[in-house]
A = this chain, B = another copy of it.
Amino acid sequence: MKAFLECVSCIIRQTIEILQRVERSEKRRQDILSAVIKKLAKVDIHQMTPPEATKFAHDVIQKMTGIKDLYKKPKLQNNREALALYPYLKSLVAKAADPLLMAIRLAIAGNIIDLGALAEFDVKQTVKDVIKQKFAVSDYQRFKRELKRAKLLLYIGDNVGEIVFDKVLIEELIKQVGVVFAVKSEPVLNDVLMADARMVGLDKVVKVIKSGSDHAGTTMARGTKEFKRLFKKADMVIAKGQGNYETLDTEKKNIYFLLKVKCPCLAQANGFSQGDIILENLR
C-alpha cells in the first residue's frame, strides 16, 4: 500500500526520537533533522510504501551519525526481556485447548514488546489481554486446513523481542510443516536480524535466511536469490507485523498476515480499528 499523508509526521517524530537517543549534540541533532526534512522534501513519498518512505530518513541518519544500527541497545534489552518470558509462553501453549491457536495469539501479542522497557508484569498482562481478545479478522480455519497439506512455510519475521514469541509459534508449526524464517538483511528500526535469530536460538530450530530487505517491510524486488526462491516455493507464508502488511499486501501469494493494528491510517484504510488483532489471507 502507498504511504499516507500522516507517515511524514511519524517519520519526523521517529527521527527526533532516534536523534535524542544516539546524538548528544543539540546542534548536530538540528543539522541531521534538517537534512532529513530536505530529503523528504525532494521525494514523493506517496509513490512508495510506508517502510520505503521511512528508509529515506534512516539513510540520512545512519550516514550523518555514522551509526549503522540505530536501535542496537534497546534491541538487546527487548530480546532479553522476551527470553525471560519464554518458559511462561511455553506453559500457556502446553495448557491450551488449542495449542496452535494459542501460539498464533502469542505471536501477535509479541508485537507489544516494542521499544522501551516494559515491566515483566505489564507484558504478562498484555499477553493475557491478547489471549482473550476477539480477532477482527480470522482465517484460522483455512490456515489450519492448509497447514495439513503444506510442505513448506516461509515465516517472515518482524521485531526483536517479538521473535521469541515467533519461536513459540514456530515450535508448534514444525510439528506439521517445514519452516524457514526470514530476517532483515540490514539493521532498520528494531527489526530482526540474523544475530537476533541466533541470540534467541531460533537458528537451532529452523533454517534462518536473510530477506534482502533493509527497510521495515519486505519488497520482493530487493529480495535475495534464496529468499525469492523460497518465497515462490513455499506453500504458505506467514508475514508478521504492519511493515510486512504494508509491503506484501499486493503480492499474489498465499500469505497469512499476522499483526496487531497500531497505526490509525492503516486501520482506516483497511476497515480495521486501532488495536485489532488480525490473521488474514488477502487471496
Contacts and interface: CB of A to CB of B under 8 A. Distances in A.
A34 B47 CA distance: 13
Interface in A1-35: 5-6, 8-9, 12-13, 16, 19-20, 26, 29-30, 33-34
B34 A37 contact: no
Which has the most chain B C-beta neighbours within 10 Å: A5, A26, A44? A5
Contacts of A34: 41, 44
A200 B227 CA distance: 67
Nearest to A44: B34
Interface residues of A, number: 20
A46 interface: yes
A207 to B, nearest CB: 41
A40 interface: yes
A38 interface: yes
Contacts of A38: 41
A215 B253 CA distance: 53
A221 to B, nearest CB: 24
Interface in A197-223: none
Nearest to A39: B41
Contacts of A26: 5
Contact of A12 (B8, B30, B44): B8
A148 to B, nearest CB: 44
A8 B46 CA distance: 20
A29 to B, nearest CB: 6
Contacts of A19: 5
Contacts of A33: 5, 8
Which has the most chain B C-beta neighbours within 10 Å: A6, A19, A44? A6
B8 A37 contact: yes
Contacts of A12: 8-9, 12
A126 to B, nearest CB: 25
16 contacts: A5-B16, A5-B20, A5-B26, A5-B29, A5-B33, A6-B16, A8-B12, A8-B16, A8-B37, A9-B9, A9-B13, A12-B12, A34-B41, A37-B37, A37-B41, A41-B41
Given A5-B19, A41-B41, 6 more contacts: A5-B29, A6-B16, A8-B33, A9-B12, A12-B12, A37-B40
